[in-house]
């Protein structure tokens, strides 16, 4: 039995990864920010809240990181904690840089000072590719981040590589493309859509307002992705891997798929910023455009090539776009009927 320490354990990936590690028979300790109220709803939904030991953890506070590592003595440390909202990073760039960039260095340095024997995983992101130089994006594609979040994550990525090369640490970084689930935060577009349309279907909410319908993402399922993350830390040495499905869909495609799952018959009307999506039989407005929700700089299209992870880790995504949307829509339809807003 190993001791697995997961920062950001109350987030989407943290919850799935905690369950994965518990199923493998390990002790799981999760870092939580007491300042944010420690809402354990995701661990509760997965039925593992009682099995995860929670400790106060703050990536901005180096003495706290040192004390936690001293007490926990992890065999593996997964750094999933981040200010992970791309839009917010434009309004809070300094905080984002401190948590998502310097926070990685604080953690790595504390691990090094503690002996450097802990296997380390850094949650890097396809957002680092930004205005992508080539398609599909792979491990060797140059980065061109388009947000303070993306820039901070590039620092986290390279400092992870540096600690591997300079100090011989077992340090890996997963360049993960968007992955979603019923446990996704409601601020992200997929969950915003499934929760919003489910409430509309239940008659407990109004039409959705989205920044745009054109952006394309390579959307996979978080359950698949945490298996890839785990595999990276099982390798003889640390390395860097892209995890992606290889298929991209637009926000519009996602809205249509979710609307169909929820029994609507969606149709586009109008063009550009006047485009709407309407339920044809009832003439109900489902979605309109709100340009104030747009970001100062947008990432239009991302699609990844996970061949290296397939070859070296034996990793392949098992849940396709249709099944992902159906699972999210069904979960939000249930939630919208019972406890409105409890999980947003």
Q: Which of 16, 149, 225, 333 is catalytic?
A: 149
Residue from 93, 116, 185, 207 that binds ligand NAP (CB under 6 A)? 185
Residues 6+ apart with CB under 8 A from 223: 16, 181, 319
Residue from 157, 164, 179, 201 that binds ligand NAP (CB under 6 A)? 179
The answer to whether 178 contacts ligand GDD (rule: CB under 6 A) is yes
Dist. CA 59–CA 63, nearest whole Å: 10
User: Is position 127 annotated as part of the catalytic site?
Assistant: yes
Q: Where are the alpha helices (DSSP H) in the chain?
A: 12-23, 41-46, 62-72, 86-91, 93-97, 103-113, 148-167, 189-202, 222-232, 251-261, 307-313, 321-338
Of 74 and 156, nearer to ligand GDD (C-beta) is 156
Q: Are 147 and 295 in contact (CB under 8 A)?
A: yes
Task: State the nearest-atom distance from the C-beta of 60 to ligand NAP, in Å.
Answer: 5
Dist. CA 180–CA 184, nearest whole Å: 6
ω into residue 73 within 30 of 0, thus cis?
no
Residue from 38, 94, 293, 323 that binds ligand GDD (CB under 6 A)? 293
The answer to whether 130 contacts ligand NAP (rule: CB under 6 A) is no
Give the number of other Cβ atoms within 10 Å of residue 63's Cβ: 9
Judge residue 22's burial from the number of C-beta atoms within 10 Å of its C-beta, 0-12 exposed, 13-18 middle, 19 or more buried: middle
Work out what residue 13 binds among ligand GDD, ligand NAP, none; the CB cut-off runs from 5 to 8 Å by kind: ligand NAP
With residue 56 as reference, give the H or E element that holds it. Answer: strand 52-56
The answer to whether 155 contacts ligand NAP (rule: CB under 6 A) is no
Residues 6+ apart with CB under 8 A from 274: 289
The answer to whether 224 contacts ligand NAP (rule: CB under 6 A) is no
Task: State the nearest-atom distance from the C-beta of 184 to ligand GDD, in Å.
Answer: 8
The answer to whether 192 contacts ligand GDD (rule: CB under 6 A) is yes
Which residues are the active-site residues? 125, 127, 149
Where on the chain is the footprint of ligand GDD (CB under 6 A)?
A: 84, 86-87, 125-127, 177-178, 187-190, 192, 210-212, 215, 217, 251, 293, 295, 298-299, 302
Where on the chain is the footprint of ligand NAP (CB under 6 A)?
A: 7-8, 10-14, 33, 36, 57-60, 80-84, 99, 123, 125, 176, 178-179, 185
């Amino acid at each position: 039995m190993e001791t697995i320490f997961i920062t950001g354990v109350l987030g989407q990936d943290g919850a799935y990864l905690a369950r994965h590690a518990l199923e493998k028979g390990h002790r799981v300790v999760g870092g939580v920010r007491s300042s944010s109220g420690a809402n354990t709803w995701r661990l509760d939904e997965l039925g593992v809240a009682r099995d995860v030991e929670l400790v106060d953890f703050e990536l901005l506070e180096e003495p706290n990181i040192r004390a936690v590592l001293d007490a926990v003595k992890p065999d593996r440390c997964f750094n999933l904690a981040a200010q992970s909202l791309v839009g917010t990073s434009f309004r809070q760039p300094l905080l984002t840089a401190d948590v998502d960039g310097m926070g990685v260095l604080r953690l790595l340095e504390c691990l090094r000072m503690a002996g450097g024997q802990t296997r380390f995983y850094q949650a890097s992101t396809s957002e680092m590719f930004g205005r992508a130089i080539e398609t599909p994006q792979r491990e060797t594609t140059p980065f061109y981040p388009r947000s303070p979040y993306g820039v901070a994550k590039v620092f986290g990525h390279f400092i992870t590589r540096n600690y591997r090369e300079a100090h011989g640490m077992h340090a890996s970084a997963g360049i993960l493309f968007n992955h979603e689930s019923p446990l996704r935060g409601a601020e992200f577009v997929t969950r915003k859509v499934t929760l919003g349309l489910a409430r509309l279907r239940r008659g407990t909410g109004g039409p959705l307002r989205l920044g745009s319908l054109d952006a394309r993402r390579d959307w996979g399922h978080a359950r698949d992705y945490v298996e890839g993350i785990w595999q990276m830390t099982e390798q003889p040495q640390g390395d860097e891997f892209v995890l992606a499905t290889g298929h991209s869909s637009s926000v519009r495609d996602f809205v249509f798929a979710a609307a169909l799952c929820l029994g609507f018959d969606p149709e586009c009307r109008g063009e550009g910023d006047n485009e709407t999506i309407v339920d044809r039989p009832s003439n109900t407005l489902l979605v309109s455009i709100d340009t104030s929700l747009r970001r100062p700089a947008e990432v239009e299209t991302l699609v990844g090539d996970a061949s290296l992870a397939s070859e070296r880790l034996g990793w392949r995504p098992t849940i396709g776009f249709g099944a992902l949307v159906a699972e999210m829509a069904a979960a939000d339809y249930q939630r919208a009927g019972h406890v409105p807003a409890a999980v947003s």
